[in-house]
């Protein structure tokens, strides 16, 4: 699956599938992953994505996410967000379900909030790691920056060499 990364406001990026469906986003230190058929599936994907992302952060000398055990996760509302907790540790927050582009069904997303100081490039990379962990069908070769598709653009590519 190719992922298009588009700027979305002053501090955000949207990640789109080839069909134009929103599959993820970045907003500050929060990375979102969308497209799950129900809340239990989103919770399971969030747990797995959190573990994979934490390992990746730690391997790269960055501040990992809080560790949690294998207890049954529960959802708690703190007044602002619905959090997935495992062993009392916040794993991810559940965003509001959104309608799909194809029919009247809903898609259930989650967000993982990174810790420490992170830049946009790191956060986008983390979002792609979380997407791959949660959905299992994305790797680095699938990322497409919009400027690469424009024949009229003559400046340097936005992709790192």
What digits encode the pLDDT tens for the residues 86-138?
A: 999 999 999 988 777 666 677 899 999 999 888 888 999 999 999 989 987 65
Comparing CA positions, the residue from 7, 25, 21 lying closest to residue 107 is: 21
Confidence (pLDDT) at 101:
66
Of 13, 31, 10, 11, the closest CA to residue 145 belongs to 13
| Interval 54-86: pLDDT, tens | 999 998 888 999 999 999 999 999 999 999 999
- Of residues 59 and 149, which shows the higher confidence score? 59
* Two tokens, residue 116: 């420490």
Inter-residue contact 23 to 32 (CB < 8 Å): no
Q: Is the pLDDT of residue 47 over 50?
A: yes
């Amino acid at each position: 699956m190719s992922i298009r990364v588009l700027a979305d406001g002053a501090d955000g990026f949207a990640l789109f599938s080839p069909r134009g469906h929103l599959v993820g986003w970045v907003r500050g230190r929060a990375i979102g992953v969308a497209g799950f058929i129900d809340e239990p599936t989103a919770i399971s994907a969030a747990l797995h994505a959190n573990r994979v992302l934490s390992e990746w952060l730690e391997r790269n000398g960055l501040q990992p996410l809080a560790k949690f055990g294998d207890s049954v996760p529960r959802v708690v509302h703190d007044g602002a967000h619905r959090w997935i907790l495992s062993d009392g540790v916040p794993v991810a927050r559940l965003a509001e379900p959104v309608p799909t582009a194809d029919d009247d069904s809903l898609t259930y997303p989650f967000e993982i909030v990174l810790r420490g100081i992170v830049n946009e490039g790191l956060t986008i990379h983390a979002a792609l790691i979380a997407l791959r962990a949660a959905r299992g069908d994305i790797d680095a070769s699938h990322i497409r920056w919009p400027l690469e598709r424009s024949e009229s653009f003559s400046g340097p590519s936005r992709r790192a060499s």
